Structure 1
Amino acid sequence: MRVLLSTYGSRGDVQPLVALGLALQAIGVEALVSAPADAEFVELLGREAVPLEPAFMPVRQWIEQAKQSGLRLPQLAAKMVPAQFDAIAAAAEGCDAIVATGLFPSVAAARSVAEKRGIHFSWAAFCPLMVPSPHHPPMEYPGWSHPPELTDNLALWAFNAQAKKALFGEAVNTHRASIALPTLDNVRDHVFTHRPWLASDPVLSPWQPTDLNDAVQTGAWILPDSRPLPAGLEAFLASGEPPVYVGFGSMAMHAAEDPARTAIEAVRAQGRRVILGRGWANLALIDDQEDCFVVGEVNQQALFARVAAVMHHGGAGTTTAAARAGAPQVVVPQVADQPYWASRVTELGIGAAHDGSIPRAGSLLAPLRTALAADTRERAFAVAKTIRSDGAVIAAELLVAEVRGKRQ
C-alpha cells in the first residue's frame, strides 16, 4: 500500500504528518509527504527518512508573495488550487489513498486529486473548532465576522459554509470544471467529508459526537524525538534554576513591539532565567546578561521537561508538547485556533492565557505568576500523565482498515 500525506502550512501542519508517515512505515505501508519545501521541512523529513514531494511553493515564499500582491483570499485561492492540484497529482502517482491537512485550498486540491484517481481520501484537523458541531461555533474568516444576531451554533456553521463558498467556491469549482469534475454547492462539507479525523488529544480537546458528521478522534499525531539538546543549552540548563521558555513558533509577531524584550523583562521580574526560541519572529537576546539563552529548532520534548514554564503562541503542537512534558503554560494566542488552546490551558488549570494577542509591559506578569505557582505545576504534572502518545499509530491502523475495506 502506498499513501500520500498532503499539507500546506507551517511546522504545526507538517510535523504531525511526519509522525503519521513513520507510523505507516512501521506497519509496512509506503508513505510520502507532500509539503512546502522550506529548508526546515526538508531537514525534518530528511532526518526522519520520510520522502518529501514538494508542494507548489515554499510556504514562506507564498506568504511573502501574498503580502506583496495585495490579493484577497478568493484571488489567492484561485492561484493555489490549480498549482497544488498539479503538485499533489504528481506526488500521488501509484497511491492508494491521500490524507490531507493544512490550508483549505490545498485540502480542496487534494480532495480533487483523490476523486480523479478514484482513491481513498481522509481530511484531518488538529483542533475540534475546525469540525462542524452544534457544541461549538466555527472560527471566523477575514471579512466574514459572525453576525451579532446569530447566536446558535448550527446557524453559525451554516454561515460558515456560506463563507467558505464565497471565499473559495469559485476557485475550487472553476478548477473542478476544468478537470471534468462536478461543481459543488457546499464546498466545505465536500472537502471536509462526512468522516473527518480529529488528530488532537481527547483530554486537551474533548470531542462530543454529533449527527452533523462521523468524526473520529485519533489522538494527537506526535513525532517521537530522541535528539540530544545542544551542548551550550545543556550547560545553560545546568547552571541555575529551571528557566522559562519563550517561543512563538511560526508567528512573526509583527504587531508586537519588541516581543523578546517584553517577555524577557516579564520573566526577569519573576526572578527567572529565560530560554528564547528564535522562531519566525526571530527572537533575539536584548543584552549580554547571563540569565538568557537563545536557541533555534530543538527537541522540545526534552527541553520542555526541564523548564519552569513555557510561554508560546498556542499552536496545537506546542500546547500538546508542553502538556505532555508537564510544563505549565502561558499562552499568548495570535490567530485561528490559538485562542481555543489558550482557553483549554486555562480550563484545565495547567497554565494561563494572556489577555489579547499583543504582549505589553506588565501584561505578562499575571499569567506568568499563575503559571509559576506551585499548584499550577502540580496540576500540569497530573494532566501530563493522561496525554496519549499513540494517536499516529491509531490513525495509521484506521487508514489501512478503511482502504482495505473499500477494496472488498
Structure 2
Amino acid sequence: MVTAEAGRSHIVVVLYGSRGDIQPGVCLALELLERGHRVSAAAPPNLVEFARTLGVGEVYPIGTDTHTAWSSDEAADSRSRSPIARICYALKTVRDGFAAFDRSLTGLFVGDDAPLRDADLIVAAPLCQDRCLAVAEKLRIPLVVLRFGPMSENGVLGAVPGLTDSWSPEWKRRSWRLADRVTWLATGWNEASFRRRLGVPRVFGPLPKRLSALGVRQIQAYDPAIVPGVAEEWGAVKPVVGFFDLAPEHRAALGEWGGDRAELVSWLDTGEPPVFVSFGSMPIDDPDHLIALFSGAATELGCRVLFTLGERRGVDPLNPGVYYAGAMDHSGILPRCRAAVHHGGAGTTAAGLRAGLPTMICSVTADQPFWASRIAALGVGYGTRLRGLTGAIVRDGLGVVLSPEAAAAARRLSDQLVAAEKAVAAAAATVEEVLVAAS
C-alpha cells in the first residue's frame, strides 16, 4: 500500500533498452523531481551516467550493457551468417539480458537490504512491464506503464502495418488479440519463472489483457496527431499525451555537438540546409556502404548531407557537400536541416517531425516498421527497410522527402504536435493521480 503523501512519494522509473528507450523515462523522472517527489531510476549500465548527467541523481544499474550486446564482434559475425545464426544469437542475447535484468530487479526491490524496497509507485518502460507488474504486486504498490507507440488492442490500427490497414475495426482488434496470444505463448514461460522467483501468484494469458483488467494506467508517449482516433478510443486509462523531449537546459548538460561545433556551424552557414542521416544506436556492419549510397544519391539530387554515422569527422575532403559528425542534440541540429533519414526510433521520429522535417525511415526492428508506415500514411515521408537497401531505393526515398508536397505536409503536422513540456507534464500528472488514488 502507498503510505507516503502524494506530494512527496518515492517513485521508481525502471528503464531498459537503447538510449531511445531510456530518454523518455528520464524526461518523466526529471519532471517528477521538479514536482518535489523522490525519484529513483534503474537503467542499463551503459546509460546510468547519461541519466545522472541529466540530473537524475539516484540511478541504479540494471541488467547488461545494452549497446555492447548488439555491437560486439560476436554480434557482427552472427549478422553476416545465415538467418538461423542471426536468430540463435538474438535469442541467446535476449535470454542472457533478461536473466541479468531479473537478478538486478530482484536485488533492487526485494529483501531487507534492497535499496528500492520503500517505493510507493513504479513506472515501467515497455521492455520492463511484465517484470515490474510482478514487483508491484509483491510490494503491493501501483504500477504505471510507459508506451512509445500504440502497441495494444485498438480498432484504428492493426497489429501488422500494411497488412491490416484495410481491415475493419473489429478485425484490427482481433489482430492484436492474436499477436498478444502469440507473444504470450513464446515468452510467457519467462514471466512465469520470474514470478516464481518473487513468490507472487501464477498468471494466465497475455500481459495487455491483464493490465487492462487491473486498470493499470498506460501512458502513451507519442502524439495523437500521428494516430488519429486512438486517443478517443482509449480514453483516460491509456492517455495519449504526446512525444517527450528534454528541456533545453538538460540538453545543454549533454554537450552533444558530434565534434567541432564551430566547424559544423560554419559548414551549415555556407550552404543550403542538408539532409540529416543517422541510424542512432542501431548496429551497422558497413557504415561506409550506407554513406556511399546516400552521398551518391544526394549528389545526383543536388543536396548536401550531414551524417552522424561511422567514425569519420568533419567535411569530406572529396565532397564539400558532405559533413560527418558524431551523436548530437537533435533538437539543436534538426531545425537547421531540410529532411531526415533514420531508423525510425520513436524519439528520433518525434524530433524530426517536431522540427517539421519530411522523413525517410529505414527500419530495422521493434516498433520501427510501424513508424515507417505512419510517416508514409501521413504524407510526410517514405518508409522502407534498412536490410536490402539499394541506390535506387535511396534515390526514390530522397525524392519523396525532398518534394515540396512532403515539406508542406511535414510543416502542417509539426504545427499540430503537442509541445514536449506539455506532454511530459500530462504524464507526470497521470502518475500523481495514480498515487492519490492509491493513498
Amino acid across the alignment from 1:377: A
> Structure 2 CA distance, aligned partners of 1:211 and 1:18?
25
Match of 1:50 in 2: 56
Amino acid across the alignment from 2:416: T
1:153 equivalent to 2:172? Answer yes
Match of 1:97 in 2: 121
Match of 1:318 in 2: 348
1:269 equivalent to 2:300? Answer yes
Change (3 A) 1:284 1:17: same
TM superposition shift of 1:257: 7.9
Identify which range, 187-196 or 378-387, moves more after superposition.
187-196
Identify which range, 52-61 or 254-263, moves more after superposition.
254-263
> Structure 1 CA distance, aligned partners of 2:99 and 2:360?
37
Instruction: Figure out how many residues of one structure are paired with residues of the other and give that number.
Output: 393
Match of 1:36 in 2: 44
Match of 1:223 in 2: 246
Q: SS state of the match for residue 358, structure 1?
A: coil
What is the TM-score of this pair, normalised by structure 1? Answer: 0.86
Match of 2:84 in 1: none
The partner residue of 1:251 within 272, 276, 282 is 282
TM superposition shift of 1:382: 2.1
> Structure 2 CA distance, aligned partners of 1:137 and 1:192?
19
Amino acid across the alignment from 1:316: A
> Structure 1 CA distance, aligned partners of 2:330 and 2:98?
37
Change (3 A) 1:349 1:117: same
Change (3 A) 1:152 1:356: farther
TM superposition shift of 1:176: 1.1
TM superposition shift of 1:139: 5.2
1:401 equivalent to 2:433? Answer yes
Q: Is the 8 A contact 1:209 1:215 kept in 2?
A: no
What is the TM-score of this pair, normalised by structure 2? Answer: 0.81
> Structure 1 CA distance, aligned partners of 2:211 and 2:356?
33
Kindly report which structure 2 residues correspond to 1:239-388, keeping only aligned pairs within 5 A, or say none: 239-254=270-285, 258-278=289-309, 282=310, 284=312, 288-354=318-384, 357-388=387-418
Change (3 A) 1:117 1:167: same
Q: Is the 8 A contact 1:34 1:55 kept in 2?
A: yes
1:124 equivalent to 2:137? Answer no
Amino acid across the alignment from 2:37: V
Deviations 1:364-398 (A, max 9, x none): 11221221122322222222121112111101011
Match of 2:12 in 1: 4
Q: SS state of the match for residue 119, structure 2?
A: coil
Amino acid across the alignment from 1:397: A
> Structure 2 CA distance, aligned partners of 1:71 and 1:349?
34
TM superposition shift of 1:42: 3.5
Gaps of 5+ in 2: 1-8, 79-87, 165-169
TM superposition shift of 1:152: 2.8
Q: Is the 8 A contact 1:246 1:275 kept in 2?
A: yes
Kindly report which structure 2 residues correspond to 1:206-221, keeping only aligned pairs within 5 A, or say none: 206=228, 207-210=230-233, 214-221=237-244
Q: Is the 8 A contact 1:165 1:188 kept in 2?
A: yes
Q: SS state of the match for residue 246, structure 2?
A: coil
RMSD: 3.1
Match of 1:137 in 2: 158
> Structure 2 CA distance, aligned partners of 1:119 and 1:355?
41
TM superposition shift of 1:32: 2.4
1:85 equivalent to 2:105? Answer yes
Amino acid across the alignment from 2:343: H
Matched-pair identity in %: 24
TM superposition shift of 1:34: 0.9
The partner residue of 2:196 within 170, 177, 180 is 177
> Structure 1 CA distance, aligned partners of 2:148 and 2:115?
23
TM superposition shift of 1:355: 6.3
Identify which range, 224-233 or 241-250, moves more after superposition.
224-233
Deviations 1:54-77 (A, max 9, x none): 112211244468958747378557
Identify which range, 247-256 or 94-103, moves more after superposition.
247-256
Q: SS state of the match for residue 157, structure 1?
A: helix
Change (3 A) 1:242 1:374: same
1:236 equivalent to 2:267? Answer yes
Identify which range, 189-198 or 108-117, moves more after superposition.
189-198
> Structure 2 CA distance, aligned partners of 1:218 and 1:351?
23
> Structure 2 CA distance, aligned partners of 1:378 and 1:314?
21
> Structure 1 CA distance, aligned partners of 2:370 and 2:311?
24
Amino acid across the alignment from 2:226: L
Q: SS state of the match for residue 321, structure 1?
A: helix
Match of 1:21 in 2: 29
Identify which range, 355-364 or 119-128, moves more after superposition.
355-364
Q: SS state of the match for residue 186, structure 1?
A: coil
Q: SS state of the match for residue 283, structure 2?
A: coil
Deviations 1:169-225 (A, max 9, x none): 112112212322011111423664443221111112332554799322122222123
